[in-house]
Amino acid sequence: MGGPSAEREVSLSTGNACAAALREHGGYEVIEVDAGHDLCAVLTEIKPDVVLNCLHGRWGEDGCVQGLLEWMGIPYTHSGVLASALAMDKQRSKDVYRAHGLPVVDSVIAPSADVRAGHVMAPPYVVKPNNEGSSVGVYLVQEAANGPPQLDADMPEEVMVEAFAPGREMTTTVMGERALTVTDIITTGWYDYDAKYQEGGSSHIVPADIPQEIFDLCMEYALTAHRALGCRGVSRTDFRWDESKGASGLVLLETNTQPGMTATSLSPEQAQAVGISFPELCAWMVEDATCGR
């Protein structure tokens, strides 16, 4: 847990929550590791039977730590090297979605300097890093914007510029080969980092009170995305739904191969809704762990 990414604090929360849940479940000796540059040496000393990967963001979610664990021959949770790297690259994962008939909005990869200099597509649009999660570094450019976004200096040299998808924010967790349910995420504004992780930042309706056709499509699309990317273990796919367009208004945003496991996280809440407690979910992930994922 932890690690050096922009999502370090969320990862620490996930790791602490999962460690407590496994101790509550019983049957496991749990050792928390704050992943640093000495990770290989620490794992060599600990000699774990399984690594429950609670890292978020780059290095922990993009195939890097997965490659290390494959090299060391230590079974681990969630997706493997290829699926992790692919899902973390938002533009390439969209290419996979399109190839499997899944609906997405238009997007381009553009130099940050060009994005700061002028609109690279007609507003409204969203600017985000191509390889971060948890709504880190996301800019929403409204239709009435007078000028382009002034991106922070720490944004990468290239970013994704994506057409804004209006409507309701929804999500579906896949656990193994099973889509769990659909959550309708209610916020007073943009579903940003604070809305995701601060108490009271958003409210969740689970299962979502939406037409059965849209519910079923979310379940189908999430499972298709999980399989198309080659995901393993638990993943979560996020959607936007424009009610005015019916089924054609539903689009995929992205698939998270390392969903958050904090007090406000969506996947544990969905598991609970279908009768799987948080300790049971964490135990399932541990028992599902393998190499060669």
List, as own/partner pairs, every contact residues 209-217 make where C-beta atoms lie below 8 angstroms and the sequence separation is at least 24, other chains included.
Answer: 209/184, 210/168, 210/170, 210/182, 210/184, 210/241, 213/246, 213/247, 214/241, 214/247, 214/250, 215/182, 217/247, 217/250
Whether 197 is a known active-site residue: answer yes
Region of residue 120 (left: phi > 0; alpha: psi -120 to 50; beta: else): alpha
Q: Out of 125, 139, 193, 197, pick the active-site residue.
A: 197
Whether 8 is a known active-site residue: answer no
Whether 134 is a known active-site residue: answer yes
The hierarchical CATH code for the domain 8-78 is 3.40.50.20
Place of tokens 């079923």: 216
Whether 260 is a known active-site residue: answer yes
* Token pair belonging to 229: 């990317």
Whether 254 is a known active-site residue: answer yes
* pLDDT lower than 70: segments of the chain: 132-136, 188-201, 263
* Residue boundaries of the structural domains of the chain: 8-78, 86-103+166-278, 107-163
Peptide bond just before 207 cis, omega within 30 deg: yes
The hierarchical CATH code for the domain 86-103+166-278 is 3.30.470.20
Q: Out of 7, 62, 132, 192, pick the active-site residue.
A: 7
Predicted pLDDT at 263 = 67
Q: Out of 79, 260, 265, 293, pick the active-site residue.
A: 260
Q: Out of 11, 192, 254, 293, pick the active-site residue.
A: 254
- C-alpha Rg value of the chain to the nearest Å: 19
Predicted pLDDT at 200 = 55
CA of 103: how far to CAs of 85, 180, 224, 289, in Å? 21, 20, 12, 31
Q: Out of 236, 265, 267, 293, pick the active-site residue.
A: 236
Predicted pLDDT at 262 = 80
* Token pair belonging to 108: 């381009």
Whether 63 is a known active-site residue: answer no
Q: Out of 15, 133, 238, 267, pick the active-site residue.
A: 238
Q: Out of 112, 131, 256, 265, pick the active-site residue.
A: 256
